[in-house]
Every structure is written in C-alpha cells, then in structure tokens.
Amino acid sequence: MERPTVLDIFIGYDPQEIVAYHVLCQSILEQSSRPVRFTPIRLANLRSVFDREASNLQSTEFSFSRFLTPYLSDYQGWSLFLDCDMLARGDIAELFALADERYAVMVCKHDYTPQDEIKFLGHTQSRYAKKNWSSVMLLNNARCRTLTPRYVEQATGLELHQFRWLAGDEEVGELPLAWNWLVGEYDFNPDARLAHFTRGGPYFSEFARSDYADEWRAMRERTVYAADR
C-alpha cells in the first residue's frame, strides 16, 4: 500500500489572533482527505535566524516572515502558506492537487481595492498592486531559493508581496479565487473553499456578523469541545 504524502501547511501566527490559528487548523483537519502537518510561523520561534525590525505598516507579526516558508521547508517539495484569519470549507488536498511545476508560486490573483482605510485593531490598510496575493501561497520550494532569511530581512515589503524576488510574473501561477475568498470584499459565495476574514475575523465584535461567521463560531466550539468537558 502506498504511503500517503503529508501536506505541509505553514500558518501565520499572531498573538492578537491566537484563536484564529487554532480554528483554522481544526477546519483544515476536519475537511482534509490527506494527512497534514502544521507549522505556525511565530516570530518568537525564529529569532535565531530572523530578526527584522517591525514596520508600522504591517498589520500582523507574520507580514514578512511568511516568506520564510521555503527556507523552513528546506527548499524541498511544495508547501502551502495561509494567513491565520481563514476558515477551510473544502478539502485542502484539492488545493495541493493544483500544484503545477511550471510555476515557482501559485496564488489567487485578486484585483480589487480594499474598502477600509483602517484595518482591525487600528492598523493602516495599505493599498498596492497584487494586494492579498501572498495571503495564500502554494510554494514550489526548490524554485524559491532567493527567499533566504537574510533576503527576507532586507527586502522591502513591496519586493516581497509583489513577488519581485522572481524573474518575472510568468513564474506566478493562478489559483481559483474560491481558495482565498475575501469576506466582506466579495459577495457571499456558497462554494468558497477558504473564507478569508481579511477585514477582521468574527472574534472581533465589529465583524461578528460577517459572512461565514456562524460557520467559524461552530468550528470554534468544536475546537474547544474537549477542553470544556
């Protein structure tokens, strides 16, 4: 019997959104048809190799450290990076099945202007081309060797988030938008595979009535079930 390949999933971890990380993991586990391995990208665990000074423009701790995913994968195989403020509504193995060796990275190519001037917790809402492309990245790690800890420390935010570390945009493949459905920016989609609470998660009172919020809260209840009983 062939041993199933483990799917490597790296998730941005921020101490202001701890519950988001764990609920996302649970939602992936419940949906996945393949074994998965989670790695939280938490700055405190990376100080020996990465110590970039925080920018007042970044809204999460992992704004830049997300680009260490290929390094943390030893530049081997395919890895998936996800922002933590998401809910899996589909089998993550289906996303990995879209991996195409023609590309160094595959993303959902959003073309929109954020509605808000200020993000959750008072962070500035930056507007730039390729906004939110890097919030879901399927990375062909061997072709991302430019992303060393030193490079990620020194590159500008736009160089990283606009994929200027690649030879050109032809190295960026496209994923269906359903795998990074921007809640509140796009209309409700019953077929969204990854709901992304980019404006703010249901764990913040002002976004408690967002699309998919009831699904998120139900997942949270299942996540803490054992701890409550």
- Can you name the residues that pair with 174 across neighbouring β-strands? 107
Q: In this model, does residue 125 exceed pLDDT 60?
A: no
Whether 115 shows a pLDDT value over 90: the answer reads no
Is the predicted pLDDT of residue 192 greater than 60, yes or no?
yes
Residue 188's Cβ-side half-sphere holds a number of Cα atoms within 13 Å equal to 7
Write down the architecture of domain 7-228 according to CATH. Alpha-Beta Complex (3.90)
What percent of the chain has a predicted confidence (pLDDT) above 70? 90
Q: How far is CA 164 from CA 52, 57, 103, 206, in A?
A: 19, 19, 14, 35
Q: Annotate 167-198 with three-state secondary structure.
A: CCHHHEEEECHHHHEEECCECCCCCCCEEECC
Domain ranges of the chain: 7-228
Confidence of residue 58 (pLDDT cuts 50, 70, 90): low
CB 201 within 8 A of CB 182: no
- Is 55 or 167 the better-scoring residue by pLDDT? 167
Calculate mean pLDDT across residues 150-170: 96
> What contacts 24+ positions apart, CB below 8 Å, involve 21-24?
21/84, 22/223, 23/87, 23/216, 23/219, 23/220, 23/223, 24/82, 24/84, 24/85, 24/86, 24/87, 24/88
Average pLDDT over all residues of the chain: 91
pLDDT at site 139 = 98
